[in-house]
Amino acid sequence: MLKKTTIVSLFSIISASYMAQNTTLPVYLDESKSIEQRVQDALSRMTLEEKIAMIHAQSKFSSPGVPRLGIPEFWTTDGPHGVRPEVMWDEWDQAGWTNDSIIAYPALTALSATWNKKMSWNYGKALGEEARYRKKDILLGPGVNIYRTPLNGRNFEYMGEDPYLTSKMVVPYIQGVQSNGVATSVKHFALNNQEMFRHTSNVIIDDRTLHEIYLPPFKAAVTEGDSWTIMGAYDYYKGQIASHNKYLINDILKGKWGYKGVVVSDWGAANNTEQAIHNGLDLEFGSWTNGLSEGNSNAYDSYYLAKPYLKLIKEGKVGTKELDDKVTRVLRLAYKTTMNKNKPFGNIASEEHKAIAKEIGEEGIVLLKNQGNVLPIDINKTKKIAVIGENAIKIMTVGGGSSSLKVKYETLPLDGIKARFGKQSDVQFARGYVGDIGGEYNGVKSGQNLKDDRSPQELLNEAIELAKKSDYVIFVGGLNKADFQDSEGNDRKSYGLPYNQDNVISALAKVNKNLAVVLVSGNAVAMPWLNEVPTIVQAWYLGSEAGNSIASILAGDANPSGKLPFTFPVKLEDNSAHQLGEYPGNKAELAAGKGKDQKNIINIKYNEGILVGYRWHDTKKIKPLFSFGHGLSYTTFEFGKAKADKTTISQDDKITFTVSVKNTGKKAGAEVAQLYISDVKSSVQRPAKELKGFEKVYLNPGEEKEVNFTIDKTALSFYDAEKQDWVAEAGDFEAQIGNSSDSIKTKVKFTLK
C-alpha cells in the first residue's frame, strides 16, 4: 500500500509530466475547468474497484485516494479543541512522533460561553492552521449535540443547551477552519446526547422536538457554514443507526437541506451494508470488522462499504448509482482539500495561536457569583494567597476520550497564579483533596503522578491551616477528564462534585471570607455550599493557556464577560430529562438488562419534548442554581427601554428592536445583550421564551451604545409536524431583552399579521 508521502506528490508529478510533453491536461487535472467538470471526468476514469476503495478507510485515520490518477489520500484527525497526536497505522496506540505536539484551545463549552462570533472565527482559523500544518484534510469536529442532561460525559465538547446559540457559534468556527483548506466534520448527526448506551440506544422523539431543538445547529452548519463533511452518530433513530439513517440523512440532510458534502461515519458506527449503500453514508471509518483473522490481507477490505458492497454490485443485486454519488461527493471534497493547490501551509504553536487561546479562555470564563466584590484580587493589599485544590496542579489537556491532546505546554492554574501574583504576594499551595492521580489517558502521557498517601483529614487540616494564614483563598476544583467524569464513553455517575470537595469548600468558607471557588469542568455541578461561598468562577477546560487565562480574570487584567451556555439546575431532578424523560433509558428495559449489545437495543424517550434547559425552567418556573446566559462582570451595565421600528409586521416583513446598553461602572467591560421572543398566545405549547438574538458589546466606563436586533417570521415559528414545515401563527408576540434568561430588563410587544 502506498503511504502518504508517496501519494501526496503524485498529483504534482502527473501534472508536470503532461506539461513536459506539451500534452493537454485531462479535465480532472485542468484547473481552468469547474470543479463539477473535473469531478465528473475523474469519476469516468475510475474503475469499479477504485471507486469502492475510495469510500472506506485504509487505516485508523485515513482513506485512500486513487494513486493511478494522482488523487491523494485523505487524512482525518480528532479533535475539536486541538489536533490529536499521531497513532499507529492499524492501531490506537500512539505512534511516538516527536513533532506532533500542538496548542490546546479551550473546550467548546468555553468557546460558546464567550457568546462572541468573532472569537469563534479566530478559534476555527487558528485550529485549522495547525491542522493544515500537520497535513490533515478533515478535522473531526466541532460537536454540536445539545446539552440535555448534566451527566453526559461529553458535554464539554459541545456548545450548550440552546440550538440558536450553538447555530450562531458553529458557523464562524467552520468558516475559520475551512479557510485553510481543511474540512470540518460537524458531529454527531444526530441525537447523540449521552455517552451511556451510545452504541445501543434507540432515541424516541417527536418530529417537532427533533426539528426545533436537536437539528438546527446541523442545519446551520450545512446551509450557512457549508461544512464540507458531516459525521454520523452511534445511536439509533427509527430503528436505524444514525450514521446510515434514511430519515436523517436522505430525507432531511441531503433532501430538505440539499447537502452536497460527504457524510462520514463515526468510528465503528456502520453496521449494515445495504443500509450504508442506500441511506446516505459516503465514507466509512472504524468499523468493527475482523478481516485479518478471516484470512484477508487487509482488514479494511471487510468494511460494510468495501468487499461486501463490491460483491453485491458484481452479483447484480445493487446498481452503481449510489456508488457514483458517494464518490462524486468525496471527489468534490478532494478538490477543496487534498487537490486544492491554493491552500495555505498553516503554522503551529505560534505566538498568535497562544494569544488566541488565552483570549478565548478569558472571554469564556464565567463569573457566577461575586458577593462583596472578593474579586478582582487587590494585589496591593494582598501579602499571602492560598491556592487549594487538585485541579490547580492537574494537567487537563490529556484525557476525555478522542479529544485527548499532546501539547507543547499547558500552563496550570497554580503556575498562572504564581506568575501573575508571585512577585508581590506569597503564593502557597495545599492539595485539599486527592482525586484522579493518573497521568496517562488514551495513550497520551502527561508525565504527572499525583499520588498522595495522606488521609482526607490530613489534607483538609493542611488546607485549613493555610487558609487561616492567608489574605485570599483560591480553591481550584471541579471535575476532570477521567472516566465517568467529563470524558467520552461514559456518563457521570452523580451530579455532585467528586472527591469530598463539598466538605473542603465548606471548611474553607468557615475560616476565610475572601474565598473564590474556581470550578474547572465542562458540566454543571451541584453546589450545596452556594450560600457559604462569596465568589464562584466557572473556568471550563481552557487548554494550553488555562492558568494564564484564569489568573488574568482573578487579577482583573481581563474583565469577565462569559455567559453560561447551559442552565445549572439546583438538583438533578430539576432537569427536564431527569424529571420527565427517560435517562439513561427505559426503566423496564434497564431492569431487564437491555442495552448491553446491539442485539438488545434500549429505548430512550425524550418525553420532555421542546422543554430543554431554560425553556423548561422558565416555562415551569423552576428556579435554577444559575440561569442560561448568566454571567457577572467587575463593572455594571444598564439597559435602556427597548423600541421596535414597527408594531405590526406581515409574514414577509422584518422587525428591528433597538436597545441601549451603558457601562455604569468604573471598569471597561463587555455585556451580552440577549433577545428572547415569547409567543403570547399559541395553538400549541411553546416555551415561555426562546433566544433569537445576541450581541456582545464592549464599553468603556460611562460609554453607551445601541444594539439592534432584526428578525423575521423564522424567529416566531414553530415546527408543525403534520405539515412537516415551519409555521408562524398570526397574533401577539413579545420581545424580551436582558442579560440572561431570568434577567429580562426591557420588553416590547408586536403583532404578526
* DSSP-assigned states of every residue in 89-116: SSSSSB---SS--BPPPPPHHHHHHT--
Beta strand residue intervals within 606-730, DSSP E: 637-639, 643-644, 648-649, 655-663, 669-679, 690-699, 704-711, 718-720, 725-727
Residue 92 C-alpha from the chain's centroid: 23
In this structure, the number of other CB atoms found within 10 A of the CB of residue 279 comes to: 24
pLDDT band at 701 (very low <50, low <70, confident <90, very high): very high
* CA torsion through residues 218, 224, 227, 228, sign: positive
Average pLDDT over residues 434-463: 93
Cis amide prior to 142 (ω within 30 degrees) = yes
DSSP-based three-state secondary structure for 443: coil
Confidence (pLDDT) at 37: 97
Classify 635-752 by CATH class: mainly beta
Q: How far apart are CA 138 and CA 220, in angstroms?
A: 19
Confidence (pLDDT) at 120: 98
pLDDT band at 259 (very low <50, low <70, confident <90, very high): very high
Average pLDDT over residues 328-332: 98
Q: What is the pLDDT of residues 406-433, one digit of tens each?
A: 999 999 999 999 999 999 999 999 999 9
DSSP 52: H
Q: Which amino acid appears at position 670 of this protein?
A: A
Cell numbers at residue 430, please? Answer: 495545599
Q: How far apart are CA 432 and CA 435, in angstroms?
A: 10
Residue whose cell numbers read 445583550: 673
Residue 385, C-beta contacts closer than 8 angstroms, at least 6 positions apart:
377, 417, 421, 425, 426, 427, 428, 470, 471, 472, 473, 474
Is the separation of the CB atoms in 83 and 134 below 8 Å?
A: yes
Q: Which of 48-57, 285-294, 448-457 has the lowest mean pLDDT?
A: 285-294
Q: What is the pLDDT of residues 551-565, one digit of tens each?
A: 999 999 999 999 999
Residue 47 C-alpha from the chain's centroid: 39
Percent pLDDT > 90 in the chain is 91
Average pLDDT over residues 131-136: 97
Q: Is the model more confident about 547 or about 441?
A: 547
Is pLDDT at 524 greater than 50 in this prediction?
yes
- Provide the annotated active-site residues: 266
CATH 3.20.20.300 domain residues, the chain: 4-336
3-state secondary structure 546-561: HHHHHHHHHHCCCCCC
Q: Is the model more confident about 230 or about 15?
A: 230
Average pLDDT over residues 298-313: 93
pLDDT band at 10 (very low <50, low <70, confident <90, very high): low
Q: How far apart are CA 411 and CA 660, in angstroms?
A: 39
Classify 4-336 by CATH class: alpha beta
Is pLDDT at 366 greater than 90 in this prediction?
yes
Helix 216-223 and helix 163-178, axial crossing angle in degrees, nearest 10: 30
**Looking at the DSSP assignment, which residues form a beta bridge with residue 639?**
661
Query: Do β-strands 74-77 and 62-63 pair in parallel, antiparallel, or remain unpaired?
Result: antiparallel
Q: Which of 130, 91, 197 minimizes the C-alpha distance to 357?
A: 130
Confidence (pLDDT) at 147: 98
**What is the DSSP annotation of 463-499?**
HHHHHHT-SEEEEEEE--SSTTSS-TTS--S-SS-ST
Confidence (pLDDT) at 738: 98
Is the separation of the CB atoms in 213 and 104 below 8 Å?
A: no
Average pLDDT over residues 309-324: 98
Confidence (pLDDT) at 72: 97
DSSP-based three-state secondary structure for 37: helix
Q: Which of 439, 442, 437, 440 minimizes the C-alpha distance to 404?
A: 442
Confidence (pLDDT) at 1: 43
Topology annotation, domain 365-565? Rossmann fold (3.40.50)
Is the separation of the CB atoms in 705 and 682 below 8 Å?
A: no
CATH 2.60.40.10 domain residues, the chain: 635-752
Average pLDDT over residues 376-394: 96
pLDDT band at 6 (very low <50, low <70, confident <90, very high): very low
CATH 3.40.50.1700 domain residues, the chain: 365-565
How many residues belong to the chain? 753
Total H helices, total E strands in the chain: 20, 29
From its phi and psi, is residue 238 left (phi > 0), alpha (psi between -120 and 50) or beta?
Answer: left
Confidence (pLDDT) at 24: 81
Cell numbers at residue 409, please? Answer: 505546554
Strand order in the sheet with 648-649: 648-649, 743-752, 731-740, 669-679, 690-699
Q: What is the pLDDT of residues 630-674, one digit of tens each?
A: 999 999 999 999 999 999 999 999 999 999 999 999 999 999 999
Residue whose cell numbers read 510533453: 21
pLDDT band at 289 (very low <50, low <70, confident <90, very high): low
Residue whose cell numbers read 498568535: 352
Is the separation of the CB atoms in 741 and 629 below 8 Å?
A: yes
Q: How far apart are CA 671 and CA 745, in angstroms?
A: 13
